[in-house]
Amino acid sequence: MRILIRTSRMAIWARRLGSVAIPLVIIAVLLHRFRLITSDLFMAAAITAGLVALVAVLVSLLALARLWWSGDQGWGKALAGLLFGTIALMPFLYFGSLAMRYPAVTDIATAARDAMPLMFEPGTAAMPPPRMLSAVQMAEEFPNVETRTYPLGIIPTFALVQQLVADNGWDVRRLSEPGEVGQVNAQIMTLPGWREEVVVRVTGSADQSAVDMRSASLHALHDFGSNGQRIEAFLAALDEAVTTTLRDNPAANQPAEADSEAEAPAPQAQ
């Protein structure tokens, strides 16, 4: 007499749900990055994908527990569902940990925001109002987000800023060459497809300069720490670039004196 061992239907559903969860996450991100869906629709799609992934994990665990007691077939399907569901949940776990680590903020700046306006101002294109930190919160969360002052002229400092913006691959949307003020507005796209705007403002004279920076999320309700981290990383790189420039060229902050010496007529022989 032949004994038939059935395949657990719960294990079958676990693999099906897990197989669907990963494409749902990927498709939602791609559609958002290519601007084929709005941020609101992206959030709805992401939540749906997360729920499917969570259900896949739960069903997989229940299927494994039932297989242990029943002896049915379907271990491979249950484990596949658990693996796929876990992979689909990983982005949600990662961003959830960032949400717990950083406060819900969308706009970080080293100075008054009126001096560093965005090209996409809050209140336009259905943008939510910005969420900002108090001075105390800023000092606690991002202690290195501070105005930089350098013993280097505004023109060479602005050139270093432009180079760092290019090195980061940011999309420059507006460039104001330095007179008394030089400014760069650039846009960045995060991995899930959120757009964020950076403003770097350089002021000063021929022998000194000050650099301020602003980074803001355009349509998100939480930046997961990206704006503050971006400013800290950029200003740290700028500190290093200015230090290297002054070390390798000590006269870099004295263009006027260098030019006057070059233009001075040579003394005539008596």
pLDDT digits (tens, 9 = 90+) for 100-147: 999 999 999 999 999 999 986 544 556 788 999 999 999 999 999 999
Closest among 94, 74, 79, 109 to 224, alpha carbons compared: 94
The percent of residues in the chain predicted with pLDDT above 70, rounded, is 89
Sole residue written with tokens 């004295």: 254
Whole-number Å distance between alpha carbons of 18 and 53:
6
**Domain final position from 59, 76, 101:** 101
- At 159 the pLDDT is 97
In Å, how far are 88, 126, 191 from 209, measured between CA atoms?
Answer: 48, 36, 34
The answer to whether residues 119 and 201 belong to one domain is yes
Which range has the worst mean pLDDT, 39-43, 145-149, 199-203, 227-231? 39-43
Q: Is 173 a member of any domain? A: yes
The answer to whether residues 75 and 171 belong to one domain is no
The answer to whether residues 115 and 248 belong to one domain is yes
The answer to whether residues 127 and 35 belong to one domain is no
- At 47 the pLDDT is 96
The vertex-91 CA angle with 87 and 97, nearest 5°, equals 125
248 — pLDDT class (breaks 50, 70, 90): very high
Whole-number Å distance between alpha carbons of 174 and 159:
15
The answer to whether residues 49 and 123 belong to one domain is no
Exposure string over 229-252, b if 16+ CB within 10 A, otherwise e: bbbbebbeebeebbeebbeeeeeb
| Global pTM value | 0.86
- At 135 the pLDDT is 92
**Domain final position from 101, 128, 143:** 101
Q: Is 79 a member of any domain? A: yes
Q: Is 26 a member of any domain? A: yes
- At 129 the pLDDT is 87
The answer to whether residues 246 and 112 belong to one domain is yes
The answer to whether residues 137 and 97 belong to one domain is no
Q: Is 36 a member of any domain? A: yes
The answer to whether residues 111 and 245 belong to one domain is yes
The answer to whether residues 95 and 223 belong to one domain is no
Number of structural domains in the chain: 2
The answer to whether residues 115 and 95 belong to one domain is no
Q: Is 150 a member of any domain? A: yes
The answer to whether residues 30 and 121 belong to one domain is no
Domain that holds residue 79: 9-101
The tokens describing 39, both together, are 């941020």
The answer to whether residues 192 and 168 belong to one domain is yes
Q: What is the pLDDT of residues 5-32, one digit of tens each?
A: 678 899 999 999 999 999 999 999 999 9
CATH number at residue 205: 3.30.310.80
48 — pLDDT class (breaks 50, 70, 90): very high
Mean pLDDT calculated for residue range 189-217: 96
255 — pLDDT class (breaks 50, 70, 90): low
**Domain final position from 43, 67, 101:** 101
Better-scored residue on pLDDT, 2 or 99: 99
The percent of residues in the chain predicted with pLDDT above 90, rounded, is 81
